[in-house]
Amino acid sequence: MLPENIDDLFRDGLDGHATPPDPALWARLAEATDAAGAPPAAEDARLDELFRAGLAAHATPPGRHLWERLEDEHLRPPRRRRAAAWWPQALAAALALLLVAGGAGLLWRYAAGSRPGPEVAARAGAPGLRSAATAQSAAGPLRPNKTGETTRQNAVAPAAAGGPKDALATAAAPATAAPQVAQAATSQAPPRTARAAKTASLAAAENIFSRRATRSVVPASSGSSATKRAAVSTSVAAQPGPARSGAPDPLAPAPRGAKLPDAGALAVAPAPVAAPASAVAVIEVEVRRGSAAPAPVAAVAAADAFSDDDDRPVGRRVLGGLLRQARHVVRGERVSLAEATGLPENLTLQANLGSRTLTHTIRF
Amino acid sequence: MPLPFSTLSAVTEADLIAACQRGEPRAQRLLYERLAGLMLTVCRRYLKRREDAEEALLLGFAQMFRALPTYRGEGSFEGWVRRIMVNRALMELRRKEPLTLSFDDFAQPENLATAPATADTQLQADDLLALLAELPPGYRTVFNLYALEGYGHQEIAELLGISEGTSKSQLSKARALLQRRVGQAAAVAY
């Protein structure tokens, strides 16, 4: 048979012939189609809608730290970030430095004031001051007794060192140690009251700048509770002495050796015994511990307690106070400058200008 | 002129954007508070771990604030921010969960068996996020981009560096897997 005939044979035999498939083949084909991941379009749309609707408007609250991180790491310059991170420590360090500097300053002023000076030396209490007063009294002509040492020392010191313009004056202070001061200045004159008045009058006439620092020792003799008093007069009042001034002062022995440069001049100067109150202008400044005017006894007791409670040196006490306050800072407790420095919490300044009285309270 | 403090809550989106373009810190904070929740959900759809999503959100906002001066107001501002977040989430995904390694896994027949989700399936957003998180990264990414963001297969292919066929295949397998798991989750819920 020719090859052309063979081709015709198969073409004629198979062309148009259909072989029926196995029924299982369709089932396998359907299973293969499902396994290929082609679910109906409606189910796809339903699934997509489920997720789209469930998540489209959903908001997950971010953590609080995220904004801070975003701001610190990306939005703000690094300089600000460093400042924000370090400012609490810097503030604490500055406060501590300020506290130490303030305490040191107060200590320095405290120590400087304990040297011979009329105002601060009159301060009662501190051991350092007491020793300064003792040294001064040993060098000076006066030999004070135990209670009046500071008063007399300060009374004499300016007069001896200041020259003729630095005269003692008996200002308008009611009693206190004014008569004693007058006696110390004019020494041997028997009528103390008259001499004190004369001295005051002279000072007033010459418009002498006078200064007096004294401490009220006897409560009954003082009208105030001042632990320190500094009376500055431009024109000294010639107010006569108090009730006590006529009697000999048991606390103020006559300073036999005290010779002030202008004592004689003061003594011989003619002056009225008493001048009218309206003719004088007195500025009297009192410094009190505490905010109110306490009873004199209480004030003295407080001053004594202040001086006797702690016998440590001033430096050690102040240092201890500073360390205590530093501990308070660390613990976040209240810081007291008064406690740190050993000073009273309140000081009251009272200025008497004639009939007017000005009072100011300083809180440490 | 800075935004007045009293009107911050009622400020319009355009004013807020303008203030942010001027670099006002309060406006930036307000814009963040308005969009951060929504955008964190977007990031969570792509990233399995919440920490990674938050990192993507952080970097996305930083990028958005930097790019804000170039925003011309064309189209939805939220859509613009969303695109930034999606891109940032994909970058984070590449770092945390290598995408290419997972494209061919999970193609086992037992994972691909379907149980169609019913129309009234009630699942909370967190449940849906959990279902997405369980998907392999390739499935999850393509499903998110196609079904939820509206990208086409060509865009997805360019974005992920894959072929269109691969994108279609991943989508198909992701849907099949989700159908099955949504059905299971709904059955547990009821």
Average pLDDT over residues A12-37: 68
Contact (CB<8Å) B40/A54: no
Q: What is the pLDDT of residues A185-196, one digit of tens each?
A: 444 444 444 454
Residues of chain B found within 8 Å of residue A39, distances taken between Cβ atoms = 114, 116, 175-176, 179
Whether chain A has a CB inside 8 Å of the CB on B119: the answer is yes
User: How many CB pairs lie under 8 A apart between chains A and B?
Assistant: 104
Helices B25-46/B125-134 angle, 10° precision: 60
Q: Which residue, among A232, A261, A254, A285, has the nearest Cα to A159 in the 3D structure?
A: A261
Considering A43-57, A223-237, A260-274, B98-112, the range whose residues carry the highest mean pLDDT is A43-57
Distance CA B178, CA A195 (A): 117
Q: Which residues pair with A235 in a beta bridge?
A: A281
A34 domain residue, yes or no: no
Considering A284-298, A317-331, B22-36, the range whose residues carry the highest mean pLDDT is B22-36
Statement: residue A304 has pLDDT above 80: no
Token reading at A114: 């304990």
The CATH number corresponding to B5-96 among 1.10.1740.10, 1.10.10.10, 3.30.1360.40, 3.30.70.3270 equals: 1.10.1740.10
A194 domain residue, yes or no: yes
Residue A360 is predicted with a pLDDT of 78
Contact (CB<8Å) B38/A35: no
A35 domain residue, yes or no: no
A7 domain residue, yes or no: no
Segments making up each domain of chain B, as ranges: 5-96, 100-189
In Å, what is the CA distance from B149 to each residue of A48, A259, B95? Answer: 11, 108, 22
Statement: residue A170 has pLDDT above 70: no
Residue B160 is predicted with a pLDDT of 92
Count each helix (H run) and each strand (E run) in chain A, helices first: 13, 5
Residue A189 is predicted with a pLDDT of 43
Residues of chain B found within 8 Å of residue A37, distances taken between Cβ atoms = 112, 169, 172-173, 175-176
Residue A43 is predicted with a pLDDT of 83
Q: Write out the H or E segment, with its range, that includes residue A228.
A: strand A228-235
Q: How many domains does one find in chain A?
A: 1
Distance CA B47, CA B28 (A): 25
Mean pLDDT lowest among A257-261, A334-338, B185-189: A257-261
> Given this structure, which CATH class describes domain B100-189?
mainly alpha
Mean pLDDT lowest among A21-30, A224-233, B74-83, B109-118: A224-233
In Å, what is the CA distance from A144 to each residue of A154, A187, B61, B103? Answer: 11, 14, 84, 106
Range of the domain at A177: 109-363
